[in-house]
Amino acid sequence: MDLLPLLLLSLSLLLPLSSGEISQKLGVCYGQLGNNLPSPSKSVHLLKTLKAERVKLYDANPKILHALKNTDLQVSIMVPNELLVNISTNQTLADQWVHTNVSPFYPQVKIRYLLVGNEIPSSNDNKTIFSLVPAMRRIRSSLKSHKFEKIKVGTPLAMDVLQSSYPPSNGTFRSDLSGPIMKPLLQFLNRTKSFFFIDVYPYFPWASDPEHIKLGYALLKAKNITVTDPGTGLTYHDLLDQMLDAVYFAMKRLGYPDLRIFIAETGWPNEGDFDQIGANIYNAATYNRNVVKKLTAKPPLGTPARPGKVVPAFFFALYNENQKPGPSTERHFGLLYPNGSNVYPIDLSGETRVREYEPLPIPSNNEPYKGKIWCVVAEGANLTALGSALAYACGQGNGTCDPIQPGGKCFKPNSLVWHASYAFSSYWAQFRKVGGTCYFDGLAVQTIKDPSHGSCKFPSITLTSVGK
């Protein structure tokens, strides 16, 4: 009788060792698209101050891997998208990649996952899409031949692999991907006991439809908002669970109900453009802290369709990265500023309770901006690069730059900055609805101050609701 408690204690001590790869440890995505970021060694130190226990790289940067040697951080590295086509048909290339990028560092660097490509099915490159699973097989074969069999192979996907996601029980993979890509991918992941890596951002569905999706539901802070799935009767209290279960049901529909999900990216932007709702420090901190609380809860909470299951996760991103293209939100997902200071305090271990943090700045853009917005040259823009950007904007046709031609209403003052500002505003006003952005490789910014002068009227966009 006295031996039973001791036996149970022994088993409980062994459990974390046998299921270490399914631990609740949270990590951070270490992106490098900035020209002002700290050194790898400083970055590794900063990861530790955040109490991160995992880190995901978007390549196999040797300087960063050297900095990660003999640390306790579990590491994920990535095979670049552009190599997949060649690797998929050439085992020697796969072997060379593993030999060059894994062998010099493992096991001193705790490489746990080797991710093949990034959001490959979201591209329009069919050749690369169809190379994905064959490339994953080649990489795994190479890991086995190097006797690195503890390293799992996966690939991060975006939510757009789903054709239907609402209600969650209706989760279905896109018809163009389901048979040729997703079925063999799920089979590979299941056979190798790996994870289904998925990027999950409640910010984007909420920002595109804030009238029907409540902010508190997206931020995991709703007290009295629930969504019931009519297909299962399951009740959802937050958008993250709803999105994760849509993925689960899509996998189940293809015959793989037991595959484990790993959140490859999640987060919320801490700043954005005038036409981007809800991107602020308050919401970013609230979302990320609530996700930490949820995913580190003991016992694990799981999701309504998978209660009690551990969901490991990486937060995006370590830094605000100033060279990421696209709208301003893309450059403002960081937990840290490039100088290493916190955008807002966060403890990824979950030991700090949400109510223990200092009050956050009150958000001012949780409602859509209504009014005119222009796109002009950013302060300190490189003049050489500006000339090329001006030529690009004017080269798109549609009379974009007619008023800044000699004799036109906006020709004077005859300066590069003036002409480029007009061209940027004109281009953006015309092409925004088909994907044109006010960015121009960092040379342009949005403004709500009318730059027009005299008879020269700058084109603008006028927002009346989200994204319109």
Q: Where are the domains of the chain?
A: 21-52+156-356, 371-463
Question: What is the phi/psi pair of residue 228, to 5°?
Answer: -105, 130
Residue 6 has pLDDT above 80, yes or no: no
- Whether 82 is catalytic is no
CATH of 371-463, one of 3.40.50.720, 3.40.190.10, 1.20.58.1040, 3.40.50.10190: 1.20.58.1040
Residue 315 has pLDDT above 80, yes or no: yes
CA–CA gap between residue 87 and residue 85 (Å, rounded): 6
Q: Where are the beta strands (DSSP E) in 306-346?
A: 306-307, 313-316
- Going from the C-alpha of 313 to that of each of 39, 158, 276, 305, 350, the distances in angstroms are 24, 14, 26, 18, 13
Of these residues, 21, 82, 149, 265, which one is catalytic?
A: 265
pLDDT in tens, 274-284: 999 999 999 99
pLDDT in tens, 437-449: 899 998 999 999 9
For the CA atoms of 153, 179, 163, 22, the dihedral, rounded to the nearest 10 degrees, stands at: -30
- Whether 351 is catalytic is no
CA–CA gap between residue 444 and residue 277 (Å, rounded): 19
pLDDT band at 15 (very low <50, low <70, confident <90, very high): very low
CA–CA gap between residue 63 and residue 421 (Å, rounded): 40
Closest by alpha carbon to 110, among 79, 138, 142, 148?
Answer: 148
Average of per-residue pLDDT across 80-86: 97
pLDDT in tens, 30-63: 999 999 999 999 999 999 999 999 999 999 999 9
Q: Name the CATH topology of 21-52+156-356.
A: TIM Barrel (3.20.20)
List the single range of 61-65, 195-199, 359-363, 394-398 with lowest mean pLDDT: 394-398
Q: What one-character DSSP code corresponds to residue 213? A: S
CB atoms within 10 A of CB 351: 10
Residue 188 has pLDDT above 90, yes or no: yes
**CA dihedral for 185, 186, 190, 191, sign (positive or negative):** negative
Average of per-residue pLDDT across 357-367: 92
Average of per-residue pLDDT across 169-176: 96
CA–CA gap between residue 438 and residue 378 (Å, rounded): 10
111 three-class SS: strand
- Going from the C-alpha of 203 to that of each of 198, 441, 447, the distances in angstroms are 15, 24, 23
Asked if 168 contacts 200 with a C-beta cutoff of 8 angstroms, the reply is no
The whole-number pLDDT of residue 22 equals 74
Residue 8 has pLDDT above 50, yes or no: no
By residue count, the chain amounts to 468
What's the chain's average pLDDT?
Answer: 92
pTM listed for this prediction? 0.90
Amino acid letter for position 317 = A
CA 362 to chain centre: 25
Of these residues, 21, 53, 82, 119, which one is catalytic?
A: 119
pLDDT in tens, 200-253: 999 999 999 999 999 999 999 988 899 999 999 999 999 999 999 999 999 999
The whole-number pLDDT of residue 318 equals 98
The whole-number pLDDT of residue 9 equals 39
Residue 20 has pLDDT above 60, yes or no: no
Residue 140 has pLDDT above 70, yes or no: yes
